[in-house]
Amino acid sequence: MTGEREQGRGGGGTARAEVAGDACIESLQRWRAEALAAVEEASDEAALERIRVRYLGRREGRVSGVLRRMGSLAPADRPRVGAAANRVRKELAAALKRGLARIASAASSTGHPPDLTLPPRQRWRGTVHPVSRAIDDIWKIFRSLGFVRVRGPEVETEWYNFVALNTPLDHPAADEQDTLFLDPGPHPRGAASPGLLLRSHTSPVQIRTMERHEPPIRIIAPGMVYRRDTYDATHTPAFAQIEGLVVDEGVTFVDFKATLAEFARRFWGPGTQIRFRPSFFPFTEPSAEVDVKRAIVREDGREEETDWIEIMGAGMVDPAVLDNVGYDSERYTGWAFGMGPGRVAMLRHGVRDLRLFYENDMRFLGQFR
């Protein structure tokens, strides 16, 4: 600036013209500051356009006016005033361009600025399905007790699903389970048929495991099973089961009871009781149904016991099953169970309808995040 002024003086203009030149430059500086501040504050395109017209507009614009009126300035002032006006014009044009970009990027596609009063959009976060979580938690406890986790196919043969499990095909159990057969057409229920079906329980994994491994066996086998069942609050045609099997020398019912009591206390808490009710399964002898009773602490701090709730079928492995896989049933004994993790998850979350777990309605599942 100083240099320009000296140059102006050196140019030898009159005192009046010099004042006019300085006044022009002062005005330019003031407008520059005003316009830059206004651009900064502008919240839409229209506001920016008003600023542009006011300072850079061809006819009325203040900065353009200086350039237009160059002729009225003393010749010696023209270069510095012209240069200053051009600099301000360029600077404002650049600021307006940046302002436009800022507004464009802030505006939604409809061209409106964002509405900061809107509630935030819900973020989607996946989670483990409550039944899968029950399976994982059950599995972790058995893993710490020395069990390994195995899987079996969901499409099975009659041999694995029934016959090897000491359940002849004309046995009521084979009908009772109302199995979903895969063979097309009328099904010949003879032993010679491969009889493909959707497994009606996870017990065939017992057979597949024992066929391939010698004792000692300690497995947990979770998976889906299928039945032609009614569809109601406690039954669905597809549901999860967890099979457990232990086979070794000298395994007794006492091992079984102690292991299950340990599992129940770890899963539901130290106050949990278990009881065995006599039952019947073709592949166990003796057979039992196992119930648990939980001690829950009410909101007022008092302890309360739940009703007995059935969680599994179980028993000592029938020697005929051990014979079927080529084990020496004089030497080895075992116990097994089939547990319903859906039932366990219902108990855990106070859900009264099993179907909710298998319908995959996100309004329901979203609550388990």
Residues that bind ligand DAH (CB under 6 A): 201, 203, 243, 281, 284, 313-315, 336-338
CA distances from 266 to 246, 259, 305, 339 (A): 19, 11, 17, 16
The owner of tokens 């361009």 is 97
Q: Is the previous residue joined to 119 through a cis bond, with omega within 30 degrees of 0?
A: no
- In the complex, least distance from residue 314 CB atom to ligand DAH, rounded to whole angstroms: 5
Instruction: For ligand DAH, give the closer residue by CB, 27 or 200.
Output: 200
- In the complex, least distance from residue 298 CB atom to ligand DAH, rounded to whole angstroms: 33
Instruction: For ligand DAH, give the closer residue by CB, 337 or 357.
Output: 337
- In the complex, least distance from residue 317 CB atom to ligand DAH, rounded to whole angstroms: 7
Asked if 251 and 333 touch (Cβ cutoff 8 Å), the reply is yes
| Distance (Å, whole) CA 341 – CA 368 | 16
| Closest residue by Cα to residue 261 from 137, 141, 349, 139 | 141
Does an H or E element contain 199, and which? Answer: none
Instruction: For ligand DAH, give the closer residue by CB, 63 or 288.
Output: 288
Instruction: For ligand DAH, give the closer residue by CB, 179 or 284.
Output: 284
- In the complex, least distance from residue 338 CB atom to ligand DAH, rounded to whole angstroms: 3
Instruction: For ligand DAH, give the closer residue by CB, 107 or 173.
Output: 173
Instruction: For ligand DAH, give the closer residue by CB, 90 or 280.
Output: 280
| Distance (Å, whole) CA 176 – CA 316 | 22
| Closest residue by Cα to residue 81 from 145, 181, 5, 132 | 5
> Distance of alpha carbon 21 from its chain centroid, rounded?
70
| Distance (Å, whole) CA 21 – CA 9 | 11
Coil, strand, or helix at residue 50? helix
- In the complex, least distance from residue 137 CB atom to ligand DAH, rounded to whole angstroms: 20
Instruction: For ligand DAH, give the closer residue by CB, 62 or 199.
Output: 199
For the chain, how many residues are written?
Answer: 369
Instruction: For ligand DAH, give the closer residue by CB, 27 or 241.
Output: 241
- In the complex, least distance from residue 167 CB atom to ligand DAH, rounded to whole angstroms: 10
Instruction: For ligand DAH, give the closer residue by CB, 52 or 343.
Output: 343
User: In the chain, what are the helix, strand and coil shares in percent, each to the nearest 5?
Assistant: 45, 20, 35
| Cα-based angle 228, 233, 239 (whole degrees, multiple of 5) | 50
Q: How many other CB atoms sit within 10 Å of the CB of residue 258? A: 11
- In the complex, least distance from residue 241 CB atom to ligand DAH, rounded to whole angstroms: 6
- In the complex, least distance from residue 324 CB atom to ligand DAH, rounded to whole angstroms: 14
Closest residue to ligand DAH, judged by C-beta, is 338
Asked if 338 and 313 touch (Cβ cutoff 8 Å), the reply is yes
- In the complex, least distance from residue 340 CB atom to ligand DAH, rounded to whole angstroms: 9
Q: Is the previous residue joined to 216 through a cis bond, with omega within 30 degrees of 0?
A: yes
The owner of tokens 């009591």 is 261
Q: How many other CB atoms sit within 10 Å of the CB of residue 121? A: 6
- In the complex, least distance from residue 315 CB atom to ligand DAH, rounded to whole angstroms: 5
Instruction: For ligand DAH, give the closer residue by CB, 88 or 220.
Output: 220
